[in-house]
Chain A
């Protein structure tokens, strides 16, 4: 399939602008709870969604906004939902972790790994009711340690269900470095189910599209599930206000706040030997450093990288960007009742 960079960039940018607006609303206290963003994951979402057709289903995780925006959700109803309005996408009752669109066959869950069984079920229905349609499961690498996701891979493989499992590997499970809690390699783990596995750099839109194109026809044609592993980043942390992200960004200020109780506890009588205590303290500092490095990796920004590919056509780019900006701003204003 063609890699239409303009269309892909437009979708990624729309998503980025929506979520940038979400940051502003959250900062103003207009959005409550754990607001997880998909900033950094737009490349993966754009590549996958651009290959979806009418009748395909999406099982989304707690970062469902980008895929929904690209799939064509009404932006005003989305913003209104995040604001908890009764005329929002889910009547203000679901919220950002539980976005549902029956029309788009898209369901979200805040339970890690839950998109696996959901995608298997959507695929089972597709197989009987909408032949040629597929379902997509979006999840992070942390979810790969969740039993229900492993069980879903088994089920989808043995029933040859048309599922594209999409693993967005940002290397952090909330505040835990995934490498420290994950056994073996994810790609070989997925391959051990006997299904095709594609890998791609989540910031490289062309590579992502090629990876999806390499497996999706076989899924549609009844060959069973496939697995896409995309490395990406989450520069905003696990959710907005993430303490680890704040500490990584402003170590002096944030560490000053947590250091008192930490040092006092480390010096208390009774406990581990001094060497173990020191190594525990060092592991906390090293986590902050690693998280900071992962979050500030500018090369990993899929939107900026795709934009560079189009920078030669400056005038066309300007038109596209202005339009996207106007669309998102206007939707936010209508949702806020300011239009």
Chain B
């Protein structure tokens, strides 16, 4: 066992795969500085900075993947994916279906997501629900260094396109780059277990589409992803002291969604709270509710999500993103 930071684990898993598979190439804005450790090992042919031309380089990654390469294409922040959306929505996601299952575009789109450091509503979105809405795109959203490396290893072997999201509050490099900038005068509520942790000596892929029960409980199931998982674990501690036993489930990939594990946990506890840093409407929380109803779940349901555009003000932002206190309140309303 080794200990690694969140992004360190992703880059380590990526480097291990690149060492074994010459077809893996990395490109995107500023990768020569952001991924400088990969650049000095694999050279400029495989780690290459792009112009600020997302529709071109993501679109090119789709066809490059179809023609045999395995591109890991970096769109700095998932908020910027709007400019490249056509390549994902109408191309990467559809090659498999349009070719009758005879061709696919196995690329990985790597993007930083999420808030909690005061960057405002155009740089802190999650958007995993929006992306998972599109059939044909897998969406991986790890919450710990071990899962981050394992899911990157899996994404690099996946037969189709994967959007791989890296939360900035967990990533030591992104938080330093965008949030701290060398300052010691700012503080962020970084979940320690997500930012740094034990990772396996050798990376083995974590199956895409498999959730993990990260804490057992009997009274309520807290379902979440990424930073939300850590907020749920904190809430479960607080609830424990109040005599409520909470199970915590890390969904890990928004698409495909592990319906079986979700149904199993919900059936056992009879109460479900979905905690989602992504927008509340038409997203992960609604999808979970739908699959529970379809399975004749007759328990109680609540959700703690982000509603509306994320405000710049740190105080307003903290009130907008799901917090431990809001999760505890939601559970207390359900068990009352």
| Chain A residues close to B by CB (< 8 Å) | 26-29, 32-34, 81, 84-86, 90, 92-98, 109-113, 142-143, 145-148, 173-176, 180-182, 239-244, 246, 258, 261-262, 265-266, 268-273, 276-277, 279-281, 283-284, 287
How distant is B125 from chain A, measured CB to nearest CB, in Å?
Answer: 12
List chain B residues, Cβ under 8 A from A113: 52, 83
Residues 18-58 of B, flagged 1 when their CB comes within 8 A of A and 0 if not, give 11100000000110111011111111111101111111100
A284–B36 CB distance below 8 A: yes
Task: Decide: A271 near B42, CB < 8 A? Known: A84-B315, A148-B83.
Answer: yes
A111–B83 CB distance below 8 A: yes
Interface residues of B in 180-200 (CB under 8 A from A): 180-183, 185-187
How distant is B318 from chain A, measured CB to nearest CB, in Å?
Answer: 11
B38–A265 CB distance below 8 A: yes
Q: Which of B60-68, B112-120, B136-144, B258-266 is near enough to bind chain A?
A: B112-120
Task: Decide: A34 near B183, CB < 8 A? Known: A261-B37, A280-B40, A281-B40.
Answer: no
Of chain B, the residue at the smallest CB distance from A264 is B37
How distant is B187 from chain A, measured CB to nearest CB, in Å?
Answer: 8
A173–B52 CB distance below 8 A: yes
List chain B residues, Cβ under 8 A from A81: 312
B313–A283 CB distance below 8 A: no
Q: Is the CB of B177 closer than 8 A to any CB of chain A?
A: yes
- Told that A29-B187, A174-B30, A241-B183 touch, could you supply 17 new A-B pairs with CB distance under 8 A? A28-B185, A33-B178, A93-B311, A93-B313, A93-B316, A109-B122, A112-B52, A173-B30, A175-B33, A176-B29, A176-B32, A181-B49, A243-B177, A266-B41, A268-B15, A269-B19, A283-B32
B43–A272 CB distance below 8 A: yes
Give the complex CA separation of A273 and B42 in angstroms: 8
List chain B residues, Cβ under 8 A from A111: 79-80, 82-83, 122
Q: Is the CB of B283 closer than 8 A to any CB of chain A?
A: no
Give how many B residues have a beta carbon under 8 Å from the other chain's beta carbons.
58
Give the complex CA separation of A241 and B117 in angstroms: 14
How distant is A247 from chain B, measured CB to nearest CB, in Å?
Answer: 9
List chain A residues, Cβ under 8 A from B32: 175-176, 283-284, 287
* Cross-interface CB contact of B117 among A32, A84, A281, cutoff 8 Å: A32
Of chain B, the residue at the smallest CB distance from A30 is B185
Task: Decide: A181 near B50, CB < 8 A? Known: A27-B185, A272-B43, A276-B43.
Answer: yes
Task: Decide: A84 near B52, CB < 8 A? Known: A146-B83, A243-B33, A287-B32.
Answer: no
A29–B185 CB distance below 8 A: yes
List chain A residues, Cβ under 8 A from B183: 26-27, 29, 241
A246–B182 CB distance below 8 A: yes
A142–B52 CB distance below 8 A: yes
B118–A262 CB distance below 8 A: no
Task: Decide: A84 near B49, CB < 8 A? Known: A261-B37, A277-B43, A284-B32.
Answer: no
How distant is A38 from chain B, measured CB to nearest CB, in Å?
Answer: 17
List chain B residues, Cβ under 8 A from A96: 120, 312
List chain A residues, Cβ under 8 A from B123: 33-34, 97, 110
List chain B residues, Cβ under 8 A from A112: 52, 80
B44–A280 CB distance below 8 A: yes
List chain B residues, Cβ under 8 A from A246: 182
B312–A33 CB distance below 8 A: yes
Of chain B, the residue at the smallest CB distance from A288 is B33
Q: Is the CB of B121 closer than 8 A to any CB of chain A?
A: yes
Task: Decide: A92 near B312, CB < 8 A? Known: A33-B119, A243-B177.
Answer: yes
How distant is A303 from chain B, measured CB to nearest CB, in Å?
Answer: 24
Q: Is the CB of B179 closer than 8 A to any CB of chain A?
A: yes
A94–B52 CB distance below 8 A: no
Q: Is the CB of B158 closer than 8 A to any CB of chain A?
A: no
List chain B residues, Cβ under 8 A from A94: 120-121, 312
B30–A176 CB distance below 8 A: yes
B33–A287 CB distance below 8 A: yes
Give the complex CA separation of A95 and B80 in angstroms: 18
How distant is B55 from chain A, measured CB to nearest CB, in Å?
Answer: 5
Q: Is the CB of B314 closer than 8 A to any CB of chain A?
A: yes
